[in-house]
């Protein structure tokens, strides 16, 4: 198409006709769900689309699931979560403002699906400031699963990549994986004798008493984020995953641009796995440069420097007051967790019996 320089385009060469045609097409598809029209136009490089979004006041937005837990209930659960963390910090010798813990010993772990190519967050183009809420499950075509573990200070665990399969791969392929990523297996633990705080979501595997007991024998306190509250209280969800996925997408686009078109890329399963580890490595390195983890842990209340009240950006109006923390023993909280797990187990068994009947 005809090309020219537009004012405000930062002296970038743009496709003038494509700019107007694409915006008209976007408006048509947004207002008429039955519109099946397509644009037949040579594709510019991926960075052109980012400039197109900025010029027209648009953004790529992730679909947001409608809240399933009432906010007043979230406040109660959040208070319980922070209360547990403060109480757990008093179970061992005081090492600083956070009692038994220091920033290096507090971590948050979670996993998410990843597609080799394509939009990692299933984002869609929308006007800036417009809500993108949906009902139901947000699907994602999974190529692998990535597990990230972040610390309040001193990031020291590499991303773990889980590929589906038996792992019957050759030495040649394994040697080509990025050295900054662990594939299939988890890294060996390093135990220095000091207490650790392990923050995770409420997946069933994290709630099993036998797992919690094994970790506590290693002086690791498991702090479970209440079900339905991860979008407010899990740092990986509120600040890390989105940055990582954007960096992965950028690395993805850079690779595709080398071939001018994704349709020209033909990779074997082996080559796809190798490429995936390298893209993840690049994305993780860029993510660490973008995020101040020490500040992020402090802002969400995982770490603290004094006994000041805690308010978090993701849960407006919520304030946790450390002065309300009651003293407890190790066994008190252990018994509470066992009771909660047994109650959930009983409920599941009752539902199974009712279904059989």
pLDDT at 95 over 60: yes
pLDDT single digits (tens) 20-37? 888 888 888 777 767 777
| Same domain as 218, residue 298 | yes
In a domain, residue 67? The reply is no
| Same domain as 341, residue 208 | no
> Element (H or E) spanning 322, and its range?
none
pLDDT single digits (tens) 53-73? 888 888 777 666 655 688 889
Q: What is the mean pLDDT of residues 272-282?
A: 96
pLDDT single digits (tens) 142-159? 788 899 999 999 999 999
Helix-helix angle 46-55:16-31, to 10 degrees: 70
In a domain, residue 139? The reply is yes
pLDDT at 176 over 70: yes
Look at residues 116, 104, 120, 111 and name the one whose alpha carbon lies nearest to residue 63: 120
Residue 226 pLDDT = 93
CB distance 127 to 137 below 8 Å: no
Distance CA 60, CA 63 (A): 10
User: Domain count of the chain?
Assistant: 3
pLDDT at 141 over 80: no
pLDDT at 313 over 80: yes
Distance CA 118, CA 127 (A): 21
| Same domain as 237, residue 210 | yes
Extract the runs of DSSP E, i.e. beta strands, from the chain.
3-5, 13-15, 58-61, 64-65, 106-114, 124-127, 133-134, 144-151, 160-163, 182-183, 196-200, 220-224, 310-311, 319-320
In a domain, residue 62? The reply is no
Expressed as residue numbers, the domain containing 132 is: 75-326
In a domain, residue 100? The reply is yes
| Same domain as 237, residue 183 | yes
CB distance 186 to 162 below 8 Å: no
| Same domain as 336, residue 315 | no
In a domain, residue 61? The reply is no
| Same domain as 154, residue 135 | yes
| Same domain as 172, residue 33 | no
Q: What is the DSSP string of 199-229?
A: EE---HHHH-HHHHHHHHHTTEEEEEPPTT-
| Same domain as 247, residue 228 | yes
Distance CA 211, CA 221 (A): 11
| Same domain as 346, residue 311 | no
| Same domain as 270, residue 343 | no
Instruction: Give the pLDDT band (50/70/90) at residue 229.
Output: very high
- The tokens for 214 are 């094994």
> What's the chain's length in residues?
357
Instruction: Give the pLDDT band (50/70/90) at residue 131.
Output: low
pLDDT at 8 over 60: no
Residue 357 pLDDT = 47
| Same domain as 213, residue 274 | yes
pLDDT at 43 over 80: no
Q: How does the average pLDDT of the chain come out, rounded?
A: 81
Query: 131-135, 248-252, 275-279: which has the minimum mean pLDDT?
Result: 131-135
Backbone angles phi, psi at 266, to 5 degrees: -125, 110
């Amino acid at each position: 198409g005809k090309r020219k320089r537009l004012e405000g385009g930062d002296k970038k060469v743009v496709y003038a006709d494509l700019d107007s045609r694409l915006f008209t097409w976007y408006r048509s598809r947004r207002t008429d769900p039955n519109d099946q029209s397509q644009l037949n136009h040579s594709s510019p490089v991926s960075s052109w689309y980012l400039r197109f979004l900025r010029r027209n006041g648009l953004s790529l937005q992730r679909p947001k699931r409608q809240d399933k837990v009432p906010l007043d209930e979230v406040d109660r659960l959040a208070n319980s979560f922070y209360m547990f963390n403060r109480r757990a910090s008093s179970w061992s010798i005081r090492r600083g403002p956070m009692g038994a813990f220091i920033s290096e010993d507090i971590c948050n772990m979670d996993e998410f699906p990843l597609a080799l190519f394509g939009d990692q967050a299933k984002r869609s183009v929308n006007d800036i400031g417009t809500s993108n809420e949906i009902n139901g499950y947000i699907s994602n075509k999974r190529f692998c699963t990535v597990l990230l573990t972040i610390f309040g200070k001193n990031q020291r665990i590499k991303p773990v990549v889980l590929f589906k399969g038996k792992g019957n791969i050759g030495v040649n392929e394994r040697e080509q994986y990025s050295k900054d990523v662990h594939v299939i297996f988890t890294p060996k633990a390093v135990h220095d004798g000091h207490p650790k705080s392990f923050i995770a979501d409420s997946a069933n595997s994290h709630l099993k008493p036998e797992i919690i007991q094994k970790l506590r024998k290693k002086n690791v306190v498991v702090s479970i984020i209440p079900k339905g509250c991860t979008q407010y209280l899990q740092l990986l969800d509120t600040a890390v995953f989105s940055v990582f996925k954007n960096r992965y997408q950028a690395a993805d686009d850079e690779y595709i641009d080398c071939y001018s078109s994704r349709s020209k890329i033909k990779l074997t399963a082996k080559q796809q796995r190798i490429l995936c580890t390298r893209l993840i490595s690049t994305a993780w390195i860029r993510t660490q440069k973008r995020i101040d983890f020490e500040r992020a842990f402090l802002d969400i209340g995982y770490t603290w420097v004094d006994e000041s009240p805690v308010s978090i950006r993701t849960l407006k109006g919520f304030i946790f007051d450390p002065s309300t923390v009651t003293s407890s023993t190790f066994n008190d909280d252990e018994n509470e967790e066992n009771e909660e797990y047994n109650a959930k187990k009983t409920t599941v068994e009752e539902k199974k019996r009712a279904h059989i009947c």
